[in-house]
Amino acid sequence: KIFQPFSTMYEFDSGALNPQGKLISRRLSDMSSMYQDSEAVQALLNDNPLIYEVYNVEVPENEEHIQHCTTILYPGKVGSEFFMTKGHYHEIINRAEIYFCLKGKGLLIMQTKEGEFSSLEMEPGTIAYVPPYWAHRTVNTGDETFVFFAAYPGDAGHDYGLIETEGFVKAVMEQAEKYALVANPSYRK
Ligand code: PA5
Ligand code: NI
């Protein structure tokens, strides 16, 4: 039987989807080695703050379909580094993605395996294009919840391994009540 059309409701206040679909929650303990300041990580690990949630609409993971979800990235910092997502390449690396910012403000940082780096500011209304081959991570640079909608090919998949081991080229830190992109000393070390 052919796949049936359906719709999902976006909840403007919370950023959640209804029906909820598959919910992913990530706390500091799920990504503690990704932050620069290990003392700040240790100090926060007892509280183990919730950093982000992803509401994922369930569709088959193949090239016929389009995965779509919202990410709710909470405001906060680990030391002076803003809360962020883990970041990933797509498992099928030449799969692109679209992010549409709905709430709050943030930064989308991207890099290629060759070490090229790029960043885009996001605010409600920003539609950002992550081209094929670019790893991507979002960062909440504001003091309210940052929410965006994402859509990408159904077979793309998520590959966290390389980012877990080599990190991003730059870290997003608070500086003089703004953000600064600071060279990550542990990138490819
Ligand atoms: O598909 C995407 O790029 C997003 O939906 C992310 O998966 C989401 O923002 C969470 O980030 P990550 O998958 O890097 O933990
Ligand atoms: Ni992605």
| Distance (Å, whole) CA 44 – CA 42 | 5
- Segment-wise mean pLDDT, segments of 10 residues, the chain, 189 residues: 96 96 96 97 98 97 98 98 98 98 98 97 98 98 98 98 97 96 91
- CATH T-level fold of 9-183: Jelly Rolls (2.60.120)
pLDDT at 179: 97
Helix, strand, coil share (%) of the chain residues, nearest 5: 10, 45, 45
**H or E segment and range at residue 44:** helix 38-45
Confirm if 168 and 109 have CB atoms less than 8 A apart.
yes
Positive or negative, the Cα torsion across 179, 181, 186, 187?
Answer: positive
**H or E segment and range at residue 52:** strand 50-57
pLDDT at 137: 98
Q: Which of 59, 71, 138 to mutate to test the pocket of ligand 1 (most atoms within 8 A of CB)?
A: 71
Instruction: Give the contacts of 130 (CB within 8 A, at least 6 positions apart).
Output: 96, 97, 98, 99, 108, 110, 136
Q: Nearest ligand, CA of residue 70?
A: 1
Confirm if 36 and 81 have CB atoms less than 8 A apart.
yes
CA-26 nearest atom, ligand 1: 15
Burial class (CB in 10 A: 0-12, 13-18, 19+), 74: middle
1 CA to centre of ligand 1 in angstroms: 31
Confirm if 83 and 105 have CB atoms less than 8 A apart.
no
Confirm if 84 and 172 have CB atoms less than 8 A apart.
yes
81 lines ligand 1 (CB under 6 A): no
List the structure tokens of 165.
Answer: 């081991």
ipTM value, please give it: 0.99
Burial class (CB in 10 A: 0-12, 13-18, 19+), 79: middle
Task: Determine how β-strand 135-140 pairs with β-strand 178-183.
Answer: unpaired
Taking only the tens place, the pLDDT of each residue in 134-154 is 999 999 999 999 999 999 999
pLDDT at 110: 98
102 lines ligand 1 (CB under 6 A): no
